[in-house]
Structure 1
Amino acid sequence: MQRKLRTTTAAALLLASIATPAMAENAEIVRGRALVEANCSRCHAVTRTDVSKHPEAPALHTLWERYPIDALEEAFAEGIYVGHPDMPEFVADPDQIAAIIAYIESIQD
């Protein structure tokens, strides 16, 4: 009986260790989506299916066509500034940046 309990416990721990990173990643993506919706959706398309409301704002699901997604981390860390006056200054902390990048990566075409 005790051996069976250890085997079951070991199997449960193994499953938990596999499921936890996936759940954490999904939570990070959900958090990133919330940040993007709150800060970017006024101009940018923020899902795979919507259309940007501002003609100069690229849809986030097509950013890979313009930039390597991993390069966006540095841009977010330094503060994004572009040449048109409608774009507000955007500054994020490292945890927010990681969540935003995770979300943007998850919606690329």
Structure 2
Amino acid sequence: MAHKKVWAAALAALLGGMPAACDEPPSPEERGLAIAREHCASCHAIAADDENALPEAPAFRDLGARYDVGLLEEALAEGIITGHPDMPEVELDPEDIDAFIAYLRSIQAPR
């Protein structure tokens, strides 16, 4: 019985020193997707293959056909404001902006 306790303690010590997969921070793209889900998905198609909830809202996968998505950095830092009342003002911190833009770049449709 004491032998099992020693092995159990050794295994617990070994596993306790190893990072668990769920402890890894999300990639910038994963964080960017989470931001898009929170702030944008109620109107925009935010993935590479979903549909817009609001037909007039541009799909995020098509933004690169209009302009370089990196140009959104300043607008996101200052708070995107549009001429229509349904779009909320969204202001992100620099780390979230980088993650959001990384996500946008990752889903752009080929030109």
**Shorter-normalised TM-score: what interval?**
0.7 to 0.9
For the residue of structure 2 that corresponds to 1:62, the secondary structure is: helix
Calculate the TM-score normalised by the size of structure 2.
Answer: 0.72
User: How many correspondences in the alignment?
Assistant: 86
Deviation at 1:49, TM superposition (A): 0.5
Structure 2: stretches of 5+ with no match in the other structure: 1-23
Q: Name the residue aligned to 2:19.
A: none
Percent identity, aligned pairs only, is 48
Deviation at 1:92, TM superposition (A): 0.4
Q: Name the residue aligned to 2:107.
A: 107
**Structure 1 residue ranges, 4+ long, deviating more than 4 angstroms after superposition:** none
Distance 2:91 2:85 in 1: 16
Q: Name the residue aligned to 2:53.
A: 53
Supply the RMSD in Å over aligned alpha carbons.
1.6
> Within the alignment, does 1:76 sit opposite 2:76 as a pair?
yes
Which whole-Å deviations, capped at 9, do the CAs of 1:40-62 have from their partners, x for residues lacking one?
00000000111111122100000
Deviation at 1:66, TM superposition (A): 1.9
Larger radius of gyration: 2
Calculate the TM-score normalised by the size of structure 1.
Answer: 0.74
- Normalized per residue, which structure has more helix? 1
Structure 1: stretches of 5+ with no match in the other structure: 1-22
Distance 1:107 1:30 in 2: 12
